[in-house]
Amino acid sequence: MGKRDTRVAFVNPIAAARASGPREPSGPTILDYLNRPGRPSWEEYQEQLRKSKEKSSTMAQWEEKMNEQFRDDLKKNRESLLKSASKSKKSSKEKKKKSKTKKRSRSPSSSSTSSSSSSDSESKDERERKRRKKSKKKRRHSSSSDDNSEAEDHKYISSHKSKKKRSKKSHKRKKSKKNERD
């Protein structure tokens, strides 16, 4: 079946309007609009413009005033925050000084500090050993999984090749059967 013809004839609207002839005017003309009774004079029009400008300027003045008030509020707020921050810094410094003086008075003997540092180094050594063991286990596991994946790939490839061989054999059988029929 052929395709349906969906083309539509295009008509130029300007040409069609010209062909139908001149139109009769409907509604007021431009002269009627200019000579209307409620039309403002030039002076009246200028006065209207001046009033609208005054309104817009008063609005701009009000906005500027509100902006200034907002800036003042921000300054006050910043100052109060800075004062409270400086007070908190001073108090925290004083607390640190007090805690340092307390720690100095409570400091243990030198022999106990050396023993604690040696225990810290021992614990660090133990941690390192554990990390090494874990990394070795991960390596072993990842290498064995790689070996497994290689073995699986080899199995897939070999089975795929055997399928191809089978399909060739079956294709030859089908051909031979067709030839026998003919």
- What is residue 111's predicted lDDT score, i.e. its pLDDT? 47
- What is residue 121's predicted lDDT score, i.e. its pLDDT? 66
DSSP state of 12: -
Decide if pLDDT at 66 tops 50: yes
Handedness of CA 17, 18, 20, 26 (dihedral sign): positive
Provide mean pLDDT across the span 51-74. Answer: 90
> Average pLDDT, whole number, for the chain?
78
- What is residue 112's predicted lDDT score, i.e. its pLDDT? 46
pLDDT digits (tens, 9 = 90+) for 135-168: 877 777 665 555 555 556 666 666 656 666 667 7
What span, in angstroms and rounded, lies between the C-alpha atoms of 133 and 125?
13
pLDDT digits (tens, 9 = 90+) for 24-45: 878 888 899 899 998 999 999 9
Q: For residues 70 and 141, which has the higher predicted lDDT (pLDDT)?
A: 70
State the DSSP H helix or E strand holding residue 2, giving kind and residue range, or none if neither.
none
- What is residue 152's predicted lDDT score, i.e. its pLDDT? 61
pLDDT digits (tens, 9 = 90+) for 82-138: 988 888 877 777 777 777 776 666 555 544 444 445 556 678 888 888 888 888 777
Work out the number of other CB atoms within 10 angstroms of the CB of residue 87. Answer: 10
DSSP state of 27: S
- What is residue 131's predicted lDDT score, i.e. its pLDDT? 84
pTM for this entry: 0.27
Q: For residues 41 and 56, which has the higher predicted lDDT (pLDDT)?
A: 41
| Type of residue numbered 6 | T
Rg (CA), the chain: 49
Tell me if 100 sits within 8 A of 93, measured CB to CB.
Answer: no
